[in-house]
Amino acid sequence: MSAAAPLVPSYASGTSDVPLLGDTIGDNFDRVAAAQPDAEALVEVPTGRRWTYGTLREDVDTVALGLLAAGLGKGDRIGIWAPNVAEWTLVQYATAKIGAILVNINPAYRTHELEFVLNQAGISVLVAATSFKTSDYAGMIEQVRPRCEALRTVILIGTPDWDEMVAAGRQGDRAELARLQAQLSPDDPINIQYTSGTTGFPKGATLSHHNILNNGYFVGRLCGYTPDDRVCIPVPFYHCFGMVMGNLGCTTNGATMVIPGPGFDPKATLTAVAQERCTSLYGVPTMFIAELNDPEFDSYGLSSLRTGIMAGSPCPVEVMKQVVDRMGMTEVTICYGMTETSPVSTQTRADDSLERRVSTVGRVHPHVEVKIVDPDTGLTLPRGEPGELCTRGYSVMLGYWDEPEKTAEAIDRARWMHTGDLGVMDGDGYVNITGRIKDMVIRGGENIYPREIEEFLYTHPDILDAQVIGVPDARYGEELCAWVTLREGAPELTAEGVREFATGKLAHYKIPRYVLVVEEFPMTVTGKVRKVEMREKSVELLDLGDAAAMRNA
């Protein structure tokens, strides 16, 4: 009797005849700008400001020299706290040219989170907007500044601070800038992005030129970008989706970056696509849902759209189909990744069948490896069996800033990044994400670790204990639900009461939508809280069965 055929392991490597880029972000940008100086590089729709690659390079160099004049140099950390404005992009490329490490600060952060990031990264210069929506950035900065010893300079965009920095840059020596740029290595750290931490505080994923330059380049290539493409970027720059897949995806391929507004607005986004004849549109599922549901959707001229990217949260199958049918994005792709991997590890291709593109997160990226392993043994599982998705390659971060122990927990000795996500790889190498080993919640593209919210809830005078879980939501993919036990004699607690307590202290997306007051939590025999059971019960108690039944990629 013949032996059974060996099972194919859940492992795939992204072979490619296109080599990795071996230069720094500044050198790559200069090369593209020199090749097409008159091509449009950046459009800020709300203000009407436009840059060609030639004028953008000139302004980037000016800002770089201005930051040098402000005392920044290679390895220094510079924070940026602003919504999507052209100055964000200028600072992104300017810091790359002088080797300063850009620290992205979430525009939704409040004082508690701002102070932590300023101190943890040792930020010496902070570039910020004066305000955005209900956030008074200038006021919050003044509030925390006395407790942030490293912070010596604050440059507010749109004020004399910014104008003075630019004026100093105009007086700078461009030959000196070129000399400093030539001393940088592609492997130098250039960006820190904070991800919510399981210990209650965010961790700073530290990324190199090589990490993010190449990831942006290959994301753009798989979307088929050329200098004729115009990419509408309503996703935030502070996140990899905006600054890597958006900005670097464009500049490495010579395409045009289009900023539809400082924050997401469906009408502004659709207007920008129509007005600027965009060929590509980015978004998390909630953004596409809002655009498709705009009452005047049919009045926008979207015939220029060809492709785009949906990522950041599980992508509902029906939404993907509408994006293809009603928006004309016949070559739309889904990307899967995480901040720690620059971010993309898998992506669907334009020539994949519609079924593949709406029900999987695609195949492994060029020059990247992925595998599905048994979480307990670490051994690679056969295709078709669920396990933890791991990824390895040029895209894996250098580590968490100043946290070697946390780095070692995430990246093993063979340099595999353990994502904490559960996935299945089929016979053709397509990956489907089925859940998460850790209890991270992804709400509208924002990664939230319940432990951080739980530790905050413990500071409420009436809360004895708190457990936070994600529950299904038709709009955001997931919403936060807090289970709390109250101190004896405490008054009744409502979701509104928790919201009032958290407003101004926590970012809005970290405030639980639902609060369930209970006598006790479901526990295992060893005393561990059973969050799976809590989730199932919450779906029942909150009547979320329809949201739970939605199909996602």
Average pLDDT in the 459-467 region?
89
d(CA 207, CA 391): 15
pLDDT at 142 over 60: yes
CB atoms near residue 384 (< 10 Å): 13
Neighbour-count burial of 161, counting CB atoms closer than 10 A to its CB (0-12 exposed, 13-18 middle, 19+ buried):
middle
pLDDT bin (cut points 50, 70, 90) of residue 452 is: confident
Three-class SS of 480-499: EEEEEEECCCCCCCCHHHHH
pLDDT at 315 over 80: no
The mean pLDDT value of the chain amounts to 93
Higher pLDDT, 439 or 479: 479
pLDDT at 184 over 80: yes
Q: Which residues of 423-441 are buried (b: 16+ CB within 10 A; e: fewer)?
A: bbbeeebbbbbeebeebbb
Of 85-89, 210-214, 315-319, 354-358, the range with the lowest mean pLDDT is 315-319
- Residue 382: left if φ>0, alpha if ψ -120 to 50, beta else—which one? beta
pLDDT bin (cut points 50, 70, 90) of residue 234 is: very high
pLDDT at 1 over 60: no
pLDDT at 197 over 70: no
Neighbour-count burial of 263, counting CB atoms closer than 10 A to its CB (0-12 exposed, 13-18 middle, 19+ buried):
middle
Amino acid at 357: R
pLDDT bin (cut points 50, 70, 90) of residue 198 is: very low
Q: What is the percent of the chain with per-residue pLDDT over 70, rounded to a whole number?
A: 96
Residue 525's pLDDT is 52
Average pLDDT in the 281-287 region?
91
Digit-coded pLDDT (tens) for 399-424: 999 999 999 999 999 999 999 988 99
pLDDT at 526 over 80: no
d(CA 516, CA 514): 7
Average pLDDT in the 162-177 region?
98
Three-class SS of 10-24: CEEECCCCCCCCCCC
Per-position DSSP letters for 433-482, written without gaps between them: EEEESS--EEETTEEE-HHHHHHHHTTSTTEEEEEEEEEEETTTEEEEEE
Higher pLDDT, 200 or 455: 455
Residue 375's pLDDT is 87
Of 132-136, 308-312, 334-338, 548-552, the range with the lowest mean pLDDT is 548-552
In the chain the domains, ranked by start, together with CATH numbers, are 25-39+51-184 (3.40.50.980), 441-548 (3.30.300.30)
CA 401 to chain centre: 17
Which H/E stretch holds residue 535? helix 531-541
Neighbour-count burial of 229, counting CB atoms closer than 10 A to its CB (0-12 exposed, 13-18 middle, 19+ buried):
buried
Average pLDDT in the 53-65 region?
98
Residue 553's pLDDT is 62
d(CA 86, CA 70): 20
Average pLDDT in the 298-310 region?
97
Which tokens sit at 148? 């942030």
pLDDT at 199 over 60: no
Q: Token match 């129509």: residue?
A: 274
CA 251 vs CA 38, 246, 351, 450: distances in Å: 14, 9, 24, 36
Higher pLDDT, 151 or 312: 151
Residue 440's pLDDT is 76
Q: What is the percent of the chain with per-residue pLDDT over 90, rounded to a whole number?
A: 79
d(CA 424, CA 383): 7
Digit-coded pLDDT (tens) for 482-512: 999 898 898 989 889 998 999 999 999 999 9
Whether the link from the prior residue into 386 is cis, omega within 30° of 0, is no
Residue 523's pLDDT is 76
